[in-house]
Structure 1
C-alpha cells in the first residue's frame, strides 16, 4: 500500500509561506507531497547564515522518501534522511568556520489509518479532532524545559527569552535527536503544521476556531492573514491537512492515490 492510499481516506492539504514584515529572507521551507503521504515545515535557524538553505535541505531530503509498505519503515527512512542532512550541515560548519546553518523540522507521515509525527525544534504539529485542538509535538526549547520543571507558566512562554533558545534542531549537534509520535487517524481529522512565526502571532484558541470553520485552503489563507495583521516579526509557514472518507470526494477524478491539494504561487519573498 502506498502512503497516499490512506485506507480509503482522501487527504486534502494547502500551504502558505511568507517572509513576514521584518525579515529580509524567508528561511522557512514547506513540503506537501500528498502522493507520498508526507508533509513538513522546516524553519531555518533565525539569525544564522544559510538558514534558508538548511530548511530547504530538510524538506528536499524528506521529499526523496520512496513509498513503503509500513509506517515504521517510512519513519525509519525519514530519520535516516534527516540524520544525513544533520551530518552534512555539521560537516559544512567544519569546512566553513563561522557558518552555522540549521533548521527545525515538523513532519507528518501518513500510511493507511495511522500517521507519524516526527520533529526536532519548535515548529509544531497540531491535531483538530471533534472540534478540539491539541498539540502533537512538544517544543524542543529552553522555555519548554522551564515549563516542564514548573519554573515558567505556559502562558508566559511567548516572548520569553528562553523560547528562542532551541535544545534540538537539524544541524545543531553532531548527534541529531528526533522525537516521534504515532497516532491512529480518523475521518474528519484536521492537522496543522506550522513554524513559530504563526503561533507566536495567533493564539491556539484562534487557530482552533479558524480550522473548525474553514476548509484547508481557506484556513491556511486565514491563518496567514491573521498572523500578518500583527507584528509578523518572523517568517510564517502553515500546512493545513484534512482527512476525509474517500466516498466524500466531490469529483470522480479524485482518488486516494491522487488526492486533491492546493498550492498558491510562491510567496517566499512576498
Structure 2
C-alpha cells in the first residue's frame, strides 16, 4: 500500500538524561522489527563535542506545518556534549491527521528511547515500533484520523557510536572529508522503480509520483525500520531534513552550505534557499556537527538548555 504525502505543524523539544556508552562492531544496513537481531558497532575512542542547529518553516504555500522535530541533548552528566538524539518527522493524512501523526512520533520515540533498556540500537528499534503502534491505534480509534502516518528519521550519537533509524522519505546526510553522502534510503515507489532499473535518475527526480510512499510509520500494525550504524569522526557534519528541503535544494548545495557555515547558520541558509525556490512544502532541518573540543568555534553552544516548544 502506498500513501500520498501531504504536510503541514511542527514540534520541537529538548530533554535528555545522559546515555551510557555501548560497544559495537559491524557496518551493515538492515530493516528490522524490534524482535529481529540487531547489528553492532565498535565505539571509537576520541574526544569530541556535538553542536546542533535546527529550523522548521511552514513554507510559502501550506497553511499549516505538519513537520515535527526533536533534538535531545544533555546539559549535564559525566560527559556533556557527547550524546544526542535528533529526529525529523513529516506527517501525512490531511489537516488534522498529519500534524497529529508527526507530533505523536516525535513524542513517543523520545519518551520510549529514554526509558528503554540498552543497547542504544535496540532502544531505537523499540522506540520506532512503539511510535508506529501509537499512531496506528489512534487512527483506528478516531475516524477523523484514518489514514494518518508520518516519516521518521533519527540520528543517535552515544559516547563515540552513532546510529540511524529511518522510515519514509525524510533524509539523513553525512558530510565527511568534504564529501556528502545520503545515509538513509527513500521509501518511495519511485525509488523502488529506480533500483529495478525502470527509471533513470533524471526521470525519478521529476516523476509525478515521486512523493508516494511505499512505507510510512503508523499505517500498519508492524513496521519495517531501516536501522544502521553510522560512521562518526571529528569534523563530520550530519543533516536531517524533510522533503520540503531536499526537493528544492540539491546535494551539492547542501554540501557547500554545510562546509561554509556552522550548524545553525547552515540551517538558516538551507531553509531560506528552499523558500526562495517556492517553498511549496513544509521545511524542517536539523544539523549536527562533531567537533574537536579545542577547536569548538561554531555559531551555537555545544549543548542546550532544556526547552519545549510547540508550533501550532
Q: CA deviation at 1:75?
A: 2.1
In the TM superposition, structure 1's runs of 4+ consecutive aligned residues that sit over 6 Å from their partners are 262-267
User: For 1:134-187, what per-residue CA distance to the aligned partner results, in whole angstroms no more than 9, with x for missing partners?
Assistant: 000000000100110011122332341331111111112121111012023110
Of 62, 70, 79 in structure 1, the residue corresponding to residue 125 of structure 2 is 79
Paired position in structure 2 for 1:144: 191
Asked if residue 26 in structure 1 is aligned to residue 65 in structure 2, the reply is yes
Change (3 A) 1:234 1:170: same
User: 2: distance between equivalents of 1:149 and 1:140?
Assistant: 14
Q: Are the equivalent residues in 1 in contact too, given 2:116–2:126 (CA < 8 A)? A: no
User: 2: distance between equivalents of 1:135 and 1:261?
Assistant: 27
Paired position in structure 2 for 1:173: 220
Of 51, 56, 66 in structure 1, the residue corresponding to residue 114 of structure 2 is 66
Paired position in structure 1 for 2:85: 38
Q: Compute the TM-score of the two structures, normalised by the length of structure 2.
A: 0.76
User: 2: distance between equivalents of 1:37 and 1:222?
Assistant: 23
User: 1: distance between equivalents of 2:263 and 2:243?
Assistant: 19
User: 1: distance between equivalents of 2:117 and 2:297?
Assistant: 28
Change (3 A) 1:80 1:193: same
Of 303, 306, 312 in structure 2, the residue corresponding to residue 260 of structure 1 is 303
Q: Are the equivalent residues in 2 in contact too, given 1:126–1:137 (CA < 8 A)? A: yes
RMSD (Å) for aligned C-alpha atoms: 2.7
1:1-270, aligned counterparts within 5 Å?
A: 2-3=18-19, 8-35=47-74, 36-45=83-92, 47=94, 49-64=96-111, 65-66=113-114, 73-97=119-143, 99-249=146-296, 259-261=302-304, 268=311
Change (3 A) 1:176 1:265: closer
- Answer 1 or 2: which has greater helix percent: 1
* SS of residue paired to 1:146: helix
| Alignment size in residue pairs | 261
Structure 2 unaligned spans of 5+:
1-16, 22-44, 75-82
User: 2: distance between equivalents of 1:56 and 1:136?
Assistant: 24
* SS of residue paired to 1:50: helix
Q: Compute the TM-score of the two structures, normalised by the length of structure 1.
A: 0.87
User: For 1:18-40, what per-residue CA distance to the aligned partner results, in whole angstroms no more than 9, with x for missing partners?
Assistant: 11111111000011112251001
Structure 1 unaligned spans of 5+:
none
User: 2: distance between equivalents of 1:96 and 1:131?
Assistant: 48
